[in-house]
Amino acid sequence: MYRIAAVGGDGIGPEVLNEGRKVLEAAAERFGFGIEWVEMDLGAERYLRTGELLTEEDMELLSSCRAIYFGAIGDERVKPGVLEKGILLTMRFHFDQFVNLRPVRLLRGIKSPLAEKGPEDIDFVVVRENTEDFYVGLGSRFRRREKKELAMMRELYHAKFGIDAESDAEEVAYQIGVITREGARRVIDFAFDLAQRRRKRLTSVDKANVLTEVYGLWREVFSEEARRYPDVQTEFNFVDAITMWFVKNPEWFDVVVTPNMFGDIITDLGAIIQGGLGLAPGGNINPAGVSMFEPIHGSAPKYRGKGVANPIATIWAGSMLLALLNEAEASEAVMRAIEQSIAKGVVTRDLGGGASTREVGDEIAAGVLGGGC
């Protein structure tokens, strides 16, 4: 019996999560385990009603679960950043989910927008660092009035660049990226371990030619780790260049490890080359703690309640959740059932079909139960 928190959240989140839960329940029935759902009421509705984002009780409840199954967060009535930082990022940080695992795989039957690339060409995994970099929230914005901070910035500017910022610095905003040796080591180690179990090729992403401090440290740690895995072939890519290679030669990649913000950016690119955001799952993983699984798409408020959202990203995230629980057979059966539903043409309109969110969920759940998968 696994205790799993269910967080539907905002927009299309609750709809796609329902289908994901349906499929996990089918897998539980077929493979002989149980799921105890812990329903969590988090997101915009509650925030607007009570002002609460994540309370201490919420955290305790989440901590008592084996994993978190997450829909989406974000609502047009709330200022950007409030829900994202107050719920999603808080969970990632609180549970120290330092790996954001994002498979980029073109499923059979799906057409990539990359002409002439098929499922044999697009099959890699992005390991995104998930707790550091520009996501740490260190920064500020101030005006001339706030003399102390401004004087400090002026001094910094002068010392570093010889610039007298007095006249230009009426309003200043800055935000700081942080990489720690241990933070880099643990995620890079995870990526090497994964590469060793796949095609033994690992690409590191950075911008060490400009952001020399933070990504200089990242590179140093990568090189040190590489010595411990002599059987894994390694390379460095600058982030600007890798966006080009993802499009031109996706078949080159096996495992890609990246600092947080670049990982955010390149995984949306990954999502589109695997057929769209409706097909891209992610796992926020703490191998020794509470992990969280979610589609990487957002809450898409304009599609809320319309029954048109593609639930496959969420269902695929559910398959990743099962893999984490060591229910390997169930996890694989879910993936086969997804591919079977695509082969039968039971797909939502983003994939050119006419099926509703619920019909796709029903079809995949039936595939898991039917034993054909």
Q: Per-residue x/- marks for ligand IPM, 284-323, CB under 6 A? A: ------------x---------------------------
**DSSP of 166-228:** TTTTTEEEEEEEE--HHHHHHHHHHHHHHHHTTTSEEEEEE-TTTSHHHHHHHHHHHHHHHHH
Kindly indicate which of the ranges 30-38, 81-89, 218-226, 312-320 contains the residues binding ligand IPM, using the contact rule CB under 6 A.
81-89
> Using CA atoms, how far apart are residues 142 and 144, in angstroms rounded to an integer?
7
- Residue 29 contact partner, candidates Mn ion, ligand IPM, none, CB within 5 to 8 A by sort of partner: none
The verdict on 99 binding ligand IPM (CB under 6 A) reads: no
CB of 264 vs Mn ion, minimal distance in Å: 4
Spatial separation of the C-alpha atoms in residues 331 and 108, rounded to whole Å: 17
Q: Which does 189 bind (CB under 5 to 8 A by kind): ligand IPM, Mn ion, none?
A: none
The listed partner (Mn ion, ligand IPM, none) that binds 89, CB under 5 to 8 Å by sort, is: ligand IPM
Q: 318 vs 367, which CB is nearer to ligand IPM?
A: 318
Least Å distance between CB 269 and ligand IPM? Answer: 12
Burial of 146 (0-12, 13-18, 19+ CB in 10 A): middle
State in angstroms the smallest separation of the CB of 311 from Mn ion: 19
Nearer to Mn ion, 83 or 347 (CB): 83
How many residues sit in the footprint of ligand IPM (CB under 6 A)? 5
Largest CA distance in the chain: 72
Q: The tokens 């229910």 sit on which residue? A: 327
Q: How far is the CB of 127 from Mn ion (least distance, A)?
A: 15
Query: Phi and psi (nearest 5°) for 146?
Result: -80, 85
**Separation CA 128–CA 218 (nearest Å):** 13
- Three-state DSSP at 121 gives coil
88 is a site residue for ligand IPM (CB under 6 A): yes
Using an 8 Å Cβ cutoff, are 273 and 246 in contact? yes
Considering only 42, 53, 89, 351, the residue that binds ligand IPM (CB under 6 A) is 89
Under rule CB under 6 A, residue 84 binds ligand IPM? yes
Residue 264 as a binder of ligand IPM (CB under 6 A): the answer is yes
User: Which residues are 172's β-sheet partners?
Assistant: 142
Q: Give the nearest distance from C-beta 296 to ligand IPM in angstroms.
A: 5
> What is the binding site for ligand IPM (CB under 6 A)?
84, 88-89, 264, 296
